[in-house]
Structure 1
């Protein structure tokens, strides 16, 4: 399938580490031109150093005007945008009793608002080339997560955007799908500000609940992102594919 990705132009947000890094490398290895976007310039350059098909754009996608700047950078460099991977996101451990207005606002700005504005900015190019959007959700976008309800709610919102955009854009030939990974090795828990001992305990608890007996790898998730985006998947839209080792079956 990936032969049809040759010379496609792909934007991947959150590409400095984890799933985003693996996704940028997977698309570049399939022959695509990749714009790797993220807040940390050094991390992006480490990603780009692994493949010549990856260019970098350090950017905070929650900044006013940043989504349009990202799309303009890709289109200005390669003349088109074929795939938008809305991968950048944050996890927030926030029990109801500790709910903080600014933390909720910041979480939604990154997990919901920024992907929406990126999709809006990319839309003229996606329509012109019958391109595709892949939104990265989570198993917890469609199952409860006590103690992190706002994170789960933000991913549920992204899944509903996926379905709604798929219907809205179908007449233009633009496909919109989502991938919902389960617990995957990444820096997300550290970035959420959790101490190492808490992270270790969470990972052990998660692993114990996963039927396949382990957490996922970024490369496993990236494989399915590429498959959802591949132009050969011509009749697939509006779907949320869960890849979590069977966790949601429990």
Structure 2
């Protein structure tokens, strides 16, 4: 998609969290294809090594974004390597199916630490460098941040928080020339459902049900999302900020 839209990130530096698989991997590759130097962040060292080996413009750092020192370490790694930072993509997230009767303190904290706190601290750590480059932040939200989701309300609430933060940061940072937008994917073919603890049979049942509800007739692919992340970060789109772009095959309209 980056080639089709003639997006050029040559000379620019991008951080992508959750880059080892799924949407994050596709985003990292799309930025690299558009000419950017990319720092891919993740927890799976082997997956990151394979990503970097396959794409020369991508370097990686193995960190858990919820660790207290991670935000500063991640931003410092990019700036030490390339001397600047132009784009932060807050993609790392966790999905947990958590019916109300199964709510625990630790599970709620896991969702909020990963999906809300870590992106906030990363954005704060990146801010001085984004001011210099007049760069941008792209957050990965979810259709379910503005659409009810039975049995996973806390996940939806965390993504609703990201939508609100996106709009609020856009207002706050506009005087610095920093744009803040979000992409809200619908159901996408990633490992998130399998990693949530659901059985393979339950995962397949959910996938089939989702595909049946989506007007365009299929679940998304990571590449469906990645192109829009790159486009929203493009400096040429200089008058777009505070927006949450839903990319879900029409699910939002059902």
Taking structure 1 as the reference length, the TM-score comes to: 0.99
Counterpart among 28, 34, 38 of residue 30 in structure 1 = 34
Correspondence 1:161 to 2:165: yes
Correspondence for 1:9 = 13
Query: Contact conserved, 1:9 with 1:83, CA < 8 A, in 2?
Result: yes
Answering whether residue 233 of structure 2 is matched by residue 226 of structure 1, we say: no
Distance 2:162 2:131 in 1: 21
Secondary structure of the 2:184 match is strand
Choose the corresponding residue for 1:192, options 196, 200, 203.
196
Structure 1 residue aligned with 2:101: 97
Instruction: Verify the 8 A CA contact 1:2 1:230 in the aligned structure 2.
Output: no
Matches within 5 A, 1:200-215: 200-215=204-219
SS at match of 1:238: coil
For 2:194 and 2:7, how far apart are their aligned partners in 1? 36
Cα offsets for 1:135-183 (capped at 9, x unmatched): 0000001010010000000000000000000000000000000000000
Q: List 4+ stretches of structure 1 deviating above 6 A.
A: none
Equivalent residue of 2:54, what SS?
Answer: coil
Shift of 1:2: 4.6
Higher mean Cα deviation, 178-187 or 190-199?
A: 190-199
Alpha-carbon contact 2:7-2:231 (below 8 Å) kept:
no
Secondary structure of 2:246's partner? strand
Describe the shift of the 1:127–1:2 C-alpha distance in structure 2 as closer, same or farther (beyond 3 A).
farther
Contiguous gaps of at least 5 residues in structure 1: none
Q: Which moved more, 1:27-36 or 1:2-11?
A: 2-11
Q: State the alpha-carbon separation in 1 of the partners of residues 11 and 56 from structure 2.
A: 13
- 1:1-250 aligned at under 5 Å gives the runs 2-250=6-254
Instruction: Provide the TM-score with structure 2 as the length reference.
Output: 0.97
Q: State the distance in 1 between where 2:252 and 2:50 align.
A: 34
Give the paired residue count. Answer: 250
